[in-house]
Copies of this chain bind each other. A is one copy, B any other.
Amino acid sequence: MAKVTTLVAVAALALTFDVRATDPLPTWNDTAPKKVIVAFVEKVTKEGSPDFVKPGERIATFDNDGTLRAEKPIYFQFQFAIDRVKALAPRHPEWKQQPPFNYILAGDMKALLAHEKSMMALMALSHAGMTTDDFNKIVKDWLHTAKHPKTGRLYTQMVYQPMLELLAYLRANGFKTFIVSGGGVEFMRCFAEQTYGIPPQQVVGSSSKMKYEIRDGKPVLLRLPEVQFVDDKQGKPIGIEVFIGRRPIAAFGNSDGDQQMLEWTMGGSGAHFVFIVRHDDAEREWAYDRKSDVGRLDKAWDEAVAKGWTVVSMKDDWKTIFPK
């Protein structure tokens, strides 16, 4: 009997260990959001369930800034653009008088942020006039060296561990995971695959106009200083329609820029699920919502409350914010 008991005990231990080892969302607290996510994934993947969705139709879209990674004190691509302007300034003496460049060169962040529209223009201008290959090289160099002003981490390390787990969990359940972000599509592709496991063709974002030409017998694509498409607010469902061509069954955002993507997802005919990440953890990350210049969460929050969409509290629902 002693032997049998031992075996049972070992088996029980192994089982416990196994359950813990295979918890797909280990840095999520056992609060409501985790339960709702798991219940949703289980019902859409269970054959025979009335909510079953075929693998090819399990499309999940993620906003990037503020949803998959931090966005404070300013969007990271905005910081990249600022660093580019500073690097290029010696060749552009006229920028000292020209908004928004003059704000950057004078270090006046408040004036710069007050002109929200200048951000797209700034990014288009500072990223233009070079080939796509050169641009990718500059971005990758920056990603390997620039450090976040508050944490001292590389920007690629400012991602949310619980969201990395969610990405992996969905993919393990036959979902295709996409980024759908207002950020520049080519900028994001410089880190999306390595950081999130999301390949280039599953990154939807804003884009510049481009020009194709032959230089020294080799074809190149040149970035032009004009915006082709803005993948934000109502641009998100449009970007989803044009790039993906299928309505997501799950979508995740954190700000008013995601509101239309979440509405579009909730308007689908089959099972669907969305949540909003709420930045309410001033200690471990940042706390901001209705009045923030960056990542404002105001109208989308009201809609989430009115319609009962899940709101994830970084403070209460996540054990960890950043990867170790």
A192-212: contact bitstring with B at CB < 8 Å (1 yes, 0 no)? Answer: 010000011111000100111
- Tell me which of B176, B221, B242 contacts A237 (CB under 8 A): B221
Query: Which of B178, B219, B260, B263 interacts with A267 by CB under 8 Å?
Result: B219
Q: Measured between alpha carbons, how far is A234 from B229 in the docked complex, in Å?
A: 18
- Could you tell me the distance between the alpha carbons of A243 and B185 in the complex, rounded to whole angstroms? 9
Closest to A207 in B: B242
Query: Is the Cβ of B219 less than 8 Å from the Cβ of A201?
Result: no
Q: Which residue of B lies closest to A236 (CB)?
A: B212
- The residue on B at minimum CB distance from A242 is B207
Which residues of B have CB within 8 Å of A200?
244-246
A201-B242 CB under 8 A given contacts A218-B267, A219-B264 = no
Q: Are B263 and A234 in contact (CB under 8 A)?
A: no
CB pair A199 B56 closer than 8 Å: yes
Residues 147 to 173 of chain A near chain B (Cβ within 8 Å): none
CB A180 to nearest CB in B, in angstroms, measures 12
Q: List residues of chain B with CB within 8 A of the CB of A202.
A: 201
Question: Looking across the interface, which residue of chain B has its beta carbon closest to that of A220?
Answer: B267
Could you name 17 residue pairs across A and B whose Cβ atoms are closer than 8 Å? A59-B201, A178-B201, A185-B242, A199-B246, A200-B244, A200-B246, A201-B201, A201-B243, A203-B245, A210-B242, A211-B234, A212-B238, A212-B260, A219-B237, A219-B264, A219-B267, A243-B243
